[in-house]
Chains A and B, each alone.
Chain A
Amino acid sequence: MNLNYSDEQNMLREQVLKFCETNYDFIDREKILDSDSGYSEENWKQFSELGWLAVPFKEDNGGFNFGPIELTVLFEEFGKALVVEPYLSSVVMSGTVLEGSNYPKKTSIIEKIISGEHQVSVAYAEANIGYNFLKCVTTVSKDGDNLSLNGSKSLVLNGGNADQFIVLANHENAPALVLIDADVKGLSVQSFKTLDGQTCGELTFENVSLNAESILALGDEAETLFNRMIDLSILCISAEAVGAMTSSYMKTVQYTKEREQFAQPISNFQVLQHRMVDMFIETELTKSLLIKATLQLDSDDPEAANTISALKVQVGKAGRLVGQHAVQLHGGMGVSNEMSIGHYLKRFTAIDSMFGNTQYHINKYQKDK
């Protein structure tokens, strides 16, 4: 067993850390949130130039052939600064599906993703099915010689900016993953701000015509690919949560050392010290499950799915504790939108809600284990 990051992985971490220190303070981030697209195109270009958009892709497709470990390194650092660029949707989610598919033109799309000029989002959620994504109502059906897509998808991350969508749909009672262009006839997109300042879209399909080629995967193959994408996405947002927890407790420690009440720094009070210790403990425990899940996913361990559920539960519980304590210990400043600390709480809340919340994964773990 070796639980040390390689030199290369440490260098990547250093690089992201430096980038965020220079380009991603709270005020930079506020400006990005206020922009129309909800992310910075300039940052996205830099992500590409720094090679980050190529991280998980195979060398054949122009990537670096890195795996889950490198992705978690990136996301942990993103989490510390609450980075909002659409890396999860465009690189991790759509990248996993595209690369795992037999789509003949996938290399050219991946190359465009890596160069930063093209974004693809996966439309996986719907209005009435909760977290049972595969039980979707959106349907691909035969329309003469052609295929057509009907229905609607919700909560599509970065949906307002994507150039293409990968849509999870039902085709003859089996799951299908289909690729469509954002400007295709019959598709309408409505974009919303999310609670943590990102964006998501609502997609409606009315007889969107497809050709056979746009079906990326069908049946068991689609299901396996989809589940792999969800697992990897959970891993990434969990790493992000670990980064956000680290920032939250460190900022809280700093604040309590500076804030004076009763003629002394409030960090002198034991009850607050213990709260901060609890925050630290939860962060470390989350990090442990994160590393375990990362290594299992990296080695295609069949236990990985259970560990992913365990991780998601821990992230939900720890995120809530750390986020709430951080706000409480900042007092009124904690609930002020002008301080970064409350924005971590929002991100923890969003992360818990995505890809199955705490209760969903407790049940899944109980059932599968």
Chain B
Amino acid sequence: MDISFSEQDLQFQEEIRAGLNGSEFPSNVREKQEKGTALTKADMIDFHKFIHSKGWMGYNWPVEYGGTGWSPVQIYLFLNELALAQCPTILPFGLSMVGPVIYTFGNQQQKDRFLPDILEFNTWWCQGYSEPGSGSDLASLKTKAVLEGDHYIVNGSKTWTTLAQNADWIFCLVRTETTQIKQEGISFLLIDMNSPGIEVKPIITIDGDHEVNSVFFTDVKVPADQLIGEEGKGWTYAKFLLAHERFGIAGVPVVKVQIEKLKNITSESNDADLSRKIAELEIDLEALEFTELRTLAAMAEGGHPGAESSILKIRGTEIQQRLTELFVEAAGQYILPYEGPDGFESNRIPAGPNYASPSVAQYLNYRKTSIYGGSNEIQKNIIAKAILGV
């Protein structure tokens, strides 16, 4: 066993760091990230185009599809550097979700058509999984696709669709057949968001933000060549996607950066109680980070992360949520005046630290993390079944 990174890995890290600190990094994104204000759609596109220009966009893709072919350790270091440089998160919907499904299960025509645009960020994807009646029990989904000639006709609705308001395309799980076993009638369909019959309605979350949406489909015509793989195999692809999308799920690097911020805040106020709580959280984070490294090491040896990655999701979100609580505690009573995630305009500033309003917004917003992506209860069921065998 050897805990250190190789010379090459460290050199790689240096290259990434230099690239992120270079002059090509979009200044609009940097300014807003430093101030903590929300990024617009245009900012997000600038950021992703920058990552692409460095050749890093396919950081978790194999070389044959235009990816970097990086080792798990390199991916880990890359994501770490992104967080340290206070970059926004690379959107997972195209790159980490639908992309791998397309290059693994799609045909050549689909690969040629969709993969380059994902890498260049010419298309913004969103995920059509959850439905009003299908949350944890995802396989009970009802959105229907009926084949008529060379088109599917899609009817139904999806919900909690993150950033659908910006999306050009949506990948959907749809029911193409009513079967005894509910998982068997599900198919994986790519749908152009500009298709007639699609309506996107905002859902405002408790922090006052518009991040998620309902998406309604009324007789939406979808060319049959936008079906991935085989009809009725959608559930298999969805499960593949879930297993694939485990990199960075624990959110360790971002938490690390946030903890440093919080430590600066508490050292100014000399708050011993809060310092102790931060130390406890850092210890939790160390255990989680090394668990993630163990998973990476196993993958580097050719292993596949199994249900163990549920540990990363559960503990990762618990730590993220705890961190938001500590920020709120640090702000004390000054969390009362509220202006949402962006904080106050400069001509209207109430008393208290400027992180107060964004902190409480984050606290409320992060309640979602233990609910989405398979709720933490579902993750525990997975561990119980797949690892403990009970």
Contact = CB atoms under 8 A, between A and B. Distances in A.
Nearest to B375: A331
Interface in B336-390: 336-339, 348, 350-352, 357, 360, 363-365, 367-368, 370-372, 375, 377, 380
A190 B348 contact: yes
Interface string B204-233: 111010001000000000000000000000
Of the candidates A126, A194, A332, the one having the most CB atoms from chain B within 10 angstroms of its own CB is A332
A334 B372 CA distance: 12
B160 interface: yes
B337 A193 contact: yes
Contact of A337 (B159, B205, B357, B363): B205
Contacts of A194: 336-338
A71 interface: no
A325 to B, nearest CB: 11
Contact of B367 (A128, A193, A262, A345): A345
Interface string B304-341: 00000000000000000000010011011111111100
Contact of A155 (B130, B137, B159, B351): B351
A333 to B, nearest CB: 9
Interface string A251-269: 0000000001111001001
Interface in B148-181: 159-160
Contacts of B205: 335-337, 342
Nearest to A133: B333
A154 B348 contact: no
Contacts of A320: 325
Interface in B23-43: none
A360 B205 CA distance: 30
A345 B371 contact: no
A312 to B, nearest CB: 13
B350 A328 contact: no
Nearest to A153: B351
A127 B351 contact: yes
Contact of A331 (B337, B364, B365, B371): B371
Interface stretch (A6-14, A50-58, A293-301, A349-357): A349-357
A237 B352 CA distance: 22
B367 A328 contact: yes
Contacts of B377: 269, 271-272
A354 B160 contact: no
A184 interface: no
Given A194-B338, A195-B360, A271-B377, A336 B204 contact: yes
Contacts of B130: 332
A320 B333 CA distance: 16
A345 B205 CA distance: 13
Interface in A181-202: 190, 192-195, 200, 202
Nearest to A128: B351
Given A202-B350, A202-B351, A334-B371, A353 B332 contact: yes
B203 A336 contact: yes
Contacts of B365: 335
B206 A343 contact: yes
Interface residues of A, number: 49
B371 to A, nearest CB: 6
A346 interface: yes
A346 B337 contact: no
B350 A349 contact: no
A363 interface: yes
B371 A261 contact: no
A350 B360 CA distance: 10
Nearest to A202: B350
A121 interface: no
Nearest to A355: B333
Contacts of A131: 332-333
Contact of B336 (A195, A262, A269, A331): A195
Nearest to B274: A359
Given A194-B338, A345-B206, A152 B160 contact: no
Given A152-B351, A195-B360, A337 B208 contact: yes
B336 A335 contact: no
A113 interface: no
Nearest to B348: A190
A125 interface: yes
Interface of A: 125-128, 130-131, 152, 154-155, 190, 192-195, 200, 202, 260-263, 266, 269, 271-272, 320, 324, 327-328, 331-332, 334-338, 342-343, 345-346, 349-350, 353-354, 357-360, 362-363
Task: Report the 5 A-B pairs with minimum CB-CB distance, sorted nearest first.
Answer: A127-B351, A154-B351, A342-B206, A195-B338, A261-B137
Given A260-B133, A261-B137, 6 more contacts: A194-B338, A262-B136, A345-B364, A349-B360, A354-B336, A357-B329
29 contacts: A130-B332, A155-B337, A155-B351, A194-B337, A202-B337, A261-B135, A262-B137, A320-B325, A324-B367, A331-B135, A331-B136, A332-B368, A334-B367, A334-B371, A335-B205, A336-B203, A336-B205, A342-B205, A342-B206, A342-B364, A343-B206, A345-B206, A349-B328, A349-B335, A350-B335, A353-B331, A353-B335, A354-B333, A363-B273
